[in-house]
Amino acid sequence: MSTCLYLDTARLGRMCPEAQRADRDFARLAGDEGGSLYYDQFLRAGFFSLAPSQRRRYPGLADWSGVGALKGRIKKALGLDVRRPLLLANRSAVLVRLACRALCMRCENVLVSDMLWPAYRAVLDDECRRRGRTITTVPLERAILRDRIGRAELIDRVLDAYSREDCDGLFLSAVTCRGVRMPVPELVAAVSRTRAPGFVAVDAAQAVNHTLLGPLRGHCDFLIAGCHKWLRAYHPMGLGYCGRAATDGVLADARREVTEQGQLDDPLLRFTWQLENDCCDRFSETVNLAPLFTASAAIARLWHARRGRTEQFTRQLDNTDRVAALTDATAWQPLRPDASLRSGILLLQAKSEEARTAPPDVLRERFRRKGIAVSIYEGGIVRQSLLSPPLHTRQLVQLRSAFDAVS
């Protein structure tokens, strides 16, 4: 059965049409040209380095203008400072390792919340063990999702833990995997009045579609995002934005150290650096380049819609309100934060003990049979990722039917 309603973008975005066209035409170009001179020129200089006949043959690649242009467009589209460095990598994990190494080189006690993505927390745990650093975890998830504390109280709780435990570093999520939109600039400003953090890392994997990242400019040293979720480029590609010149040195030291230890061995990170600096390593690893072209197309799509970002986010929130309202008199209840902390991600929890104890894969399959793709967590929690196009009546009826049937 094909999926009629895809609400799993927070895990893997459905490939947008522009990225699909780029992917198809890149496959055709790679098949026709291989490693020819035309191909090398195209990688370095972009679409318009191709002959007119080739441009007509591969129109889906029209947004490719080279690595430097792609980085510039990403920063502009996300509201980031175009003058600051941006790293591209096949895997976000290597960028997380870089961020955690820099944190531990600069800080003694790193504050995180209990909503930091577990895989990222594991990397931070490993780095802190290596250097004998401390991690302070402030419990926020239950207070936000169950008690529905507001933005001001959230900031107070973080500030209290930061001051009480004498922290000097932060690793925060701009939007958590549970859909909580964290007030990162306000949090950093609040703790800085007590003790300015030596380094601030931000996980923005879920934030791209929910807010411009520009307000983080003066409050973030390293920001990590990706292209396969909300950007809908499908092929994974990690983005690492270096936010403040004051910590360029520690990032350079961290990069040199993890590279020497073989922990920053990412083919795309190395290859894009070589393209930008017009040098070539004859013995480098073969690189999957498809993410560059699908990301270029997805970013162009985002750029064209940039003027309406606030309106799009409002529509996302409207969609979450409409879906939450559908759960009345069903076996599901919304887990929603205060309005000031909401995003386009909506959590629902099963009311029945049977559903709460069911394996996540079992519940996910039950929703799939109703034509709906969602993420499922332990405890009978469903995560739905709502995009900005208003939900149609047919889709709302389908959702209500699923809520009635799956319990």
Name the amino acid, one letter, at 105: M
The CA radius of gyration of the chain, in Å to the nearest whole number, is 22
| Angle subtended by helix axes 393-405 and 309-326, to nearest 10 | 40
Q: Which ranges of the chain have pLDDT less than 70? A: 1-3, 35-38, 278-285, 305-307
State pLDDT tens for residues 48-61: 988 899 999 999 99
Residue 282, pLDDT score = 52
pLDDT of residue 130: 94
Q: How far apart are CA 218 and CA 20, in angstroms?
A: 35
Residue 254 confidence (pLDDT) = 95
Q: Is 312 exposed, middle or buried (0-12, 13-18, 19+ CB in 10 A)?
A: middle
Backbone angles phi, psi at 224, to 5 degrees: -115, 125
- Taken in order of first residue, the domains within the chain and their CATH numbers are 82-286 (3.40.640.10), 309-405 (3.90.1150.10)
**Per-residue confidence (pLDDT) for residue 339, from 0 to 100:** 95
pTM: 0.92
Give the Cα separation of 216 and 169 in Å (integer): 16
Give the tens place of pLDDT for each residue, 124-148.
999 999 999 999 999 999 999 999 9
